[in-house]
Structure 1
Amino acid sequence: MFSENLKALRKTKGFTQEEIAIRLNVVRQTISKWEKGLSIPDADILIKIAALFDVSVSELLGSKLEDEKDINIVAEQLSRINEQLAIKNRRAHLIWKSIIIVITTIVVINIILVIVGIVSFNSFQNIKTTTVVTETEVIIPKE
């Protein structure tokens, strides 16, 4: 929707991501995130983008609204998109957090096992051993 429209408009006008970023006072990576659908700009920047490409904000968002009252619909769409992105980011954060916890747990368990192994080995080496010497007698029968 927005991401596809932004990319198409940028290419149609012959702008690079860097040029758009400079005109909007953002970094190029922000433009890239918008075009990939990873984030969405706030309302003020949306207005600047629309002005830059000579389109309405509603066209930029992918719908053709003809009435001024429909601005609330655009705001609602933005709100939903931001909410979906927030949910997606929370999920990604939770997944990474879980992965880190699992890896940390595995590392800690391995360290504990190594320490237990070293302690056991050292205590085994410290055991005093006694040697038992036995003599064997050979009995030879007389003929």
Structure 2
Amino acid sequence: MLNENIKNLRKAKGLSQEELAIKLHVVRQTLSKWENGLSVPDSVMLISLADALDVSVNELLSETATKPDSDDIKTISEKLEVVNLQLAKRSMARIKTIRWLLILLCLFIVAIFIILIKINGSYLNWNYNDPELAVAGTIIHAFEFLFVRIAPIVFLASVIGIVLTYRKS
């Protein structure tokens, strides 16, 4: 029902998919998926969509009938339950993605520290009269200098982020 309502209301307003997509700051393909019932907009986007189509969210989610009865209310509540379940699943997927990105960032930082320990400043003994070695050595030294100062802060922030993402789930 939501997909048909989006399509009908968009056409009634005389908007193309592209025009409505621009108003909503999404790509046309997203709007097409909504109209074909392949996906549904999240709650924030539902509000924006209703505003863009000059209707209430209830009208957007309801059937085309104008007077509500108990069956319509039940249908709407079931639809809202499905939408909320989909939103919860998306939210959990985002949290898991963020958690794994933070874990990978921590592993990357540890790996770089191990590499820097293995190098043990050997670039400092290079012949800096050779311009290419001088440039490479300077770049490595600058990287190490900044990394050793910034990485612990980023690592700690990542660990805190990982802990917080486990708390929310």
TM-score (ref. length: structure 2): 0.45
- 1:29 matches 2:25: yes
Map of 2:15 onto structure 1: 15
**Matches of 2:99 and 2:75 in 1, distance apart?**
36
Does the aligned pair in 2 maintain the 1:38–1:85 contact within 8 Å?
no
For the aligned residue pairs, the C-alpha RMSD in angstroms reads: 4.0
**Matches of 1:78 and 1:112 in 2, distance apart?**
51
Instruction: Please list every run of 5 or more consecutive structure 1 residues that lacks an aligned counterpart in the other structure.
Output: 51-56, 126-143
**Matches of 2:8 and 2:73 in 1, distance apart?**
24
Tell me how far 1:94 sits from its aligned partner: 2.3
- 1:46 matches 2:57: yes
**Matches of 1:11 and 1:88 in 2, distance apart?**
28
Bigger Rg, structure 1 or 2: 1
Over 3 Å counting, the alpha-carbon distance change for 1:76 and 1:49 in structure 2 is closer
Does the aligned pair in 1 maintain the 2:40–2:83 contact within 8 Å?
no
Over 3 Å counting, the alpha-carbon distance change for 1:21 and 1:45 in structure 2 is farther
Over 3 Å counting, the alpha-carbon distance change for 1:75 and 1:47 in structure 2 is closer
Going by fraction, where is helix more abundant, 1 or 2?
2
Over 3 Å counting, the alpha-carbon distance change for 1:19 and 1:49 in structure 2 is farther
Report the secondary structure of 2:95's partner residue. helix
Tell me how far 1:99 sits from its aligned partner: 2.6
Over 3 Å counting, the alpha-carbon distance change for 1:120 and 1:15 in structure 2 is closer
**Matches of 2:80 and 2:42 in 1, distance apart?**
12
TM-score (ref. length: structure 1): 0.51
Tell me how far 1:17 sits from its aligned partner: 4.2
User: How many residues are treated as equivalent by the alignment?
Assistant: 108
Report the secondary structure of 1:37's partner residue. coil
> Which amino acid letter does the alignment assign opposite residue 4 of structure 2?
N
Report the secondary structure of 2:120's partner residue. helix
Report the secondary structure of 1:58's partner residue. coil
Tell me how far 1:104 sits from its aligned partner: 0.5
> Which amino acid letter does the alignment assign opposite residue 24 of structure 2?
R
Deviating more after overlay: 35-44 vs 105-114 = 35-44
> Which amino acid letter does the alignment assign opposite residue 39 of structure 1?
D
How much identity, in percent, do the aligned residues show? Answer: 15
> Which amino acid letter does the alignment assign opposite residue 29 of structure 1?
H
Deviations 1:27-64 (A, max 9, x none): 423783854413252597234548xxxxxx223xxxx7
Does the aligned pair in 2 maintain the 1:18–1:28 contact within 8 Å?
no
**Matches of 2:19 and 2:58 in 1, distance apart?**
17
